[in-house]
Amino acid sequence: MFSPGTTARKESILERTYESAAALAATASGPLKDHLPRFVELLIDQRYVPAVVHVKAMHAVAFDRWLAQRHVALAAVAERHVVGFGHRRRRGGGPIRPETRKRERFDVAHLLRYLRSVVACPPASRTCTPAEDLAFEYERHLRHVQGLAEGSVERYSDVARLFLRSRIGDGSVDLSMVRAIDVIEFIRCQSDRLTPPAAKCVVNGLRSFLRYAQFRGDVTAEIVAAVPAVATWTTTPKLPKAIAPEHAKRAIDSCDPATPIGLRDRAVLLLLARLGLRAGEIIAMQLDDCDWDHGQLRVRGKGGRFAVLPMPVDVGEAIAAYLRCGRPPAADRHLFLRAMAPIRGMQAGSDGVGSIVRYALQRAGVRAPHRGSHQFRHALAVQMLRGGASLAEIGELLRHRSPQSTSIYARVDLDALRSLALPWPGGVQ
């Protein structure tokens, strides 16, 4: 344990390091001089380590000086300048170590993203081919007209881009020339290299794109109907993989309530276990979604739909504990934040809900059906089914759009079904 004097000295050193980084940014005199101090302030607000802030400030100032030497205006700064800066040589002609170049490019790319976020320089240019323009319009249609979830938008638009590149290339777009054999051949080529579920996603994406093209008048209904189905049947029904209740409890109990990360992870796991929320729904939750007066939570579901769910007592206590003692101060309004810099809302990657589940299972020594977060959602449905809840009630809590999504749980509780089975005539079991 640190003594009060040691802690005070440590905080003083950190403060001086931050101040030196800010002073370094203030020395900039090139096209970025008006933005570098605010960039450093943002790094400090996002809880970057002082040494990292200082290095990023040093690279930012060097990049500003390099731009000034080449008379590059702020509005013209782009990726090519990041690449050019990475290929420069030291004063005197000495080489720069590869690991140093890599770090410089990373930091300067970070700076460029910041400059674009404050509209100080133009956004990244995209490929302006006719096919890319059509794919971009289709992407906007999925997002703003159909209101699909962001994951679905990305998957479907990727399929559209792949189809357009393979059948049209960089030339002019004339979908009226697309034949049924082109559609079938595309699906066949993709299916040969993909698993059945992934191939089914490609089929759904292509069918969605061709329906959009039909809406535009570019293709006929016969072309849409030509999209073949991919066989995904199996001789054994695929049942949902649910984590055992005792294993879920062990995973939740493995979170250390004495640490900020432990408080956050416990609240996240309880949302999974008690309300069956999807990982994306937890990531999207905002501070304002907690209605403490009425004990309710507002959930942003798939397709931009909202739902209001009751807040169980233990879930509310876990969220409140995280807000009081675990959530770092930040301007970000997401309910759950990263524990390390940059301090922001969690994402569906290495810092997302899936990682929280995976590490909790490891700490608890649980060998679960799989390592994802959806097993808690399945477990809640199975528990409700065994408690006497109807499929309609389960579907309402899980916010299923179709009864077919809930019907899979009718095949889960095999032990209960066996207890209801009548004996075979003649006494044969």
Catalytically active residues are 278, 302, 374, 377, 400, 409
Contact yes or no for 298/308 (Cβ under 8 A): yes
Contact yes or no for 351/338 (Cβ under 8 A): yes
Nearest to 343 by CA among 4, 49, 2, 5: 49
Q: What share of the chain is helix, strand, coil (3-state, %, to 5)?
A: 60, 5, 35
Nearest to 357 by CA among 419, 264, 289, 275: 264
In sequence order, what DSSP letters do the residues of 288-347 get, joined into one string? Answer: GGEETTTTEEEEE-GGG-EEEEE--HHHHHHHHHHHHHTSPP-S--BSSB-SSSS--B--
CA dist list (Å): 17 to 14, 50, 52, 55, 335:
5, 6, 10, 11, 30
Token pair of 285, please? Answer: 């939750």
- Judged by DSSP in three states, 286 sits in strand
b vs e for 111-121, b when ≥16 Cβ sit within 10 Å of the residue's Cβ?
bbebbeeeebb
Sheet-wide strand order for 306-310: 290-291, 296-300, 306-310
* Total Cβ atoms within 10 A of residue 281: 21
